[in-house]
Amino acid sequence: MAVKIVTDSTSDLPADLAEDLGITIVPANVYFGANEYKDGVDMTGDEFFDRLINGPDFPTTSQPSVGEFSDTYTSVSEGADAIVSLHVSSKVSGTFNSAQQGAEHANVGCPVEVMDTLQASMGIGLIAIEAARAAQSGGSLDEVVAVAKNAIDRCQCMALLDTLEYLQKGGRIGRAQALVGSLLKVKPIIIVLDGVVDNLAKERTRRKAVVRLRRAVQDFSPLDSLAIMYSTSRDEADRLAADVKSLVTSGEAPTVVQFGPALGTYVGPDALGVALLSASD
Amino acid sequence: MFESALRLLEANVPELNRLNVFPVPDGDTGTNMYLTLRDVVANAARDTHQSVSATSRVMARAALMGGRGNSGVLLSHFFMGMADALDGCDECGGADFSRSLASASVQAYGGIGHPKEGTILTVMRESADAAESVEADDLEAVLQTSAHAALDSVARTPTLLPVLAKANLVDAGGYGFYVILEGMRRHVRGDGDLDEMMAAPQPDMGDGNISAEFLEDIEEEEFGFCTQFLLTGEGLSKESIMARLLELGQSPVVIGTEDLIRIHVHTYSPDEVVAYAGTLGEVSNENIQDMDEQRRRYSADRRAELDEETATAVAVVQGDGLEQILRAQGIENFVSGGDTMNPSVADLLRAVEDAPSDSVLLLPNNPNILLAAEQAAGLSSKRVKVVPSRTVIQGIAAALEYFPEGRSLDGLADSMEDRLGDVVTGEICPASRDAELDGVAVRENQIMALRDRALVYAADSVEDALKGLLDRATDDESEIVTLYWGEPIDESEAERLVESISDDFPELDFELVEGGQPHYHFFLSIE
């Protein structure tokens, strides 16, 4: 008997890593025109970005339905003491809301704790990993929830965008709105702050923007864990991972993952992201 | 007397402007001094006081508010010093005037952080020294001697300031000061053609040796805490405060009147400085910064936690397009001005006071507006930090860092200042006369290419000047060149030029934006 961890596909958590840690991922839905795909299930990341850049339709995403959550909780609850369900910031998505309703409707014999991580992408992923490790080592519901809360407090997620075009089209721009309308081409670095997208920095060239992103990671170090996200430029992500891995005190190698469709729709091609957990004091 | 000085100065504005080291439409010294003195004279004329003492106070106040450009601001220190010396006098005799020249010179040196010789400062000091040697209490004799010494001093400025020697010019501000003394002398003597255009002296290169001691940078290494505050009181003595500050720290600056003084000093013991000031009057607008980088950042962050007030920024800009660019970066308050039109201290102060916040950042975007900006910052009742941007291109680079929410004023100003070095500024404009500068010869009406305000190339066409500039201002690290086209050309011509140069520099990204600046074909931001 144990606590089980559930998250949604906006966490960008790789399937194999999730499986190893016993994390269940509920996929978001992605639409290109009239065609519906399950995030991370029906379509690979590269296929998605190829269609995003070259395809005729701009994709839209929708959160998993209440029914999808309730079905997931029902099946996960078999053999579980409790479920901790960790989701993308409620300030940018209705996923948390769907999950809460799903928990109410689910036919489960154990408590379901639905938590708003106020994060996105591997920010959620790293929090889920912490929670899953606590659960695997036999933590109680309260202990796992406490570990997740603590991780939420130490979590940062930021991304260097090649263009603001996609964030703007997707309508999830938050305070980064201030960056739009600039007559100069800038490479913005955005950060998830209190659950919404905020500005971290602007640079005129990509080289300087990567340096700035690296410096931002350094500002939050020492780190307990680190993930690098990319949309289309894997090499750059690997280089960044190599440059900053020494900041992780455990010596654990950074996880390099591709942005999934949910996030990819907003960050667009050539985005480079970082999620991290600062070391506890 | 000062009206006569103004008339003579007015007649000599073109000559003074000619003395600009750079043959670019640059903060014209003659115009700036003339406008500053004009404000002084206008205020004095309106003044109904019967005593020299009260009127000189009115004039000092007018100069403080009307000071334009570096030379205008230095002239305002001169008037403040004069008002100090004439305090309590009903009339001004020769000895009084001699004393006021000495006080003015001390005030001007004391008012500026890092005084440079070979400028108006030297001319003020040497004319004051000469005046002191006159034994008779005779105003005409004092003016005669000091004006003669001033002219002599002007002729020697190139031996003190290498940039003047290279340009084969005398210092324009110093010469302007001489013209003012000469105008006064002619008035007292009751003769002379006040509309006469006088030729500035030929530089007297003396033995050709530049005095090493003058070239020593007076600026000492900064240490400890940068301590700034306003002191309000009665009958405050700047001299005694300065003397005490010299014991307590380094690089003290003491500006103001006997009721209100702005103090700036670098010290290891800011508490002691503030405690000392507290014995003299009321201390306000305290701003103490640890100059050690790490600790400064810590204290800036600490203040951010304590102070939730968000700063706004005021930028000096000329050109609609450039203003739009700055607006798009979130800057909302503007003062119109630039190379050909330096705003006065009062213009800057008004914009700072009108800004909708108690903490204000001020971007002068021009080296010749820097002092006026600092002066305005010192006079303001608000917390003001000057981000010392020397070009509007630097100002735009700094504005990329303008995220004021939740940031302390000092932290914000520091990170914006850190950005100034990120860009190389290029400028393309026609030469207003023949010159040789930085080893580059240029003929009148040729097109000059400037890199960070230094002449690097001259050509007969804008296209060649652009190419020459890019050859000299880019390296392997350069990625993007933003060109802001100005009034002398139109958009289609600008597009054609960019197309042409991008063929020659395939490794660079070019971006063309409307700047709208007068006189300059292009401003370039190279990064």
The reply to whether residue A201 touches residue B401, judged by beta carbons under 8 angstroms, is yes
Q: How confident is the model at residue A69 (pLDDT cuts 50, 70, 90)?
A: very high
Q: pLDDT digit string (tens) for B454-481? A: 999 999 999 999 999 999 999 988 999 9
Coarse DSSP helix, strand, coil percentages of chain B, rounded to the nearest 5 percent: 50, 20, 35
Q: Which residues of A touch B480 (CB under 8 A)?
A: 204-205
Phi/psi at B371 (nearest 5 deg)?
Answer: -65, -40
* A243: Cα separation from own chain's centroid: 22
Min Cα distance B188 → chain A (Å) is 59
Q: pLDDT digit string (tens) for B5-15? A: 788 888 878 77
- Please tell me what DSSP assigns to residue B446: P
What pLDDT, on the 0 to 100 scale, is given for residue B204? 56
Q: Report the 3 state secondary structure along B193-233.
A: CCCCCCCCCCCCCCCCCCCHHHHCCCCCCCCCEEEEEEEEC
Q: Which two tokens stand for residue B27?
A: 């903060």
Average pLDDT over residues B83-107: 87
Q: Is B495 within 8 Å of B514 (Cβ atoms)?
A: no
Min Cα distance A37 → chain B (Å) is 38
Best A202, A204, A215 residue to mutate vs chain B (most B CBs within 10 Å): A204
CA distance B214 to B172: 19
Using a CB–CB cutoff of 8 Å, tell me whether B449 touches chain A.
no
pLDDT of residue A48 exceeding 60: yes
The reply to whether residue B403 touches residue A181, judged by beta carbons under 8 angstroms, is no
Q: Which two tokens stand for residue A161?
A: 């965008």
Q: pLDDT digit string (tens) for B203-219? A: 654 443 333 333 333 22
Min Cα distance B430 → chain A (Å) is 27
Q: Is B472 within 8 Å of B487 (Cβ atoms)?
A: no
Min Cα distance A212 → chain B (Å) is 12
CA distance B347 to B422: 29
Q: pLDDT digit string (tens) for A181-230? A: 556 788 889 999 999 888 888 888 888 899 999 999 999 999 999 999 99
pLDDT of residue B100 exceeding 80: yes
Instruction: Report strand pairing: A29-32 vs A60-62.
Output: antiparallel
pLDDT of residue B197 exceeding 80: no
Q: Is B420 within 8 Å of B446 (Cβ atoms)?
A: no
pLDDT of residue B304 exceeding 80: no
3-state secondary structure of A143: helix
Instruction: Tell me which of B295-304, B370-379, B480-489 is least confident.
Output: B295-304
Q: Which residues of B touch A208 (CB under 8 A)?
A: 422, 527
The reply to whether residue B400 touches residue A202, judged by beta carbons under 8 angstroms, is yes
What pLDDT, on the 0 to 100 scale, is given for residue B173? 87
pLDDT of residue B4 exceeding 80: no
- Please tell me what DSSP assigns to residue A77: H
Residues 192-211 of A with CB under 8 A from B: 199, 201-208
Min Cα distance A265 → chain B (Å) is 25
pLDDT of residue B271 exceeding 60: yes
Q: Is A219 within 8 Å of A275 (Cβ atoms)?
A: no
For chains A and B, count residue pairs whose Cβ atoms are closer than 8 Å. 38
Average pLDDT over residues A120-141: 96
Using a CB–CB cutoff of 8 Å, tell me whether B400 touches chain A.
yes
- Residue in A186, A199, A207 nearest the CB of B479: A207
pTM: 0.69
pLDDT of residue B293 exceeding 60: no
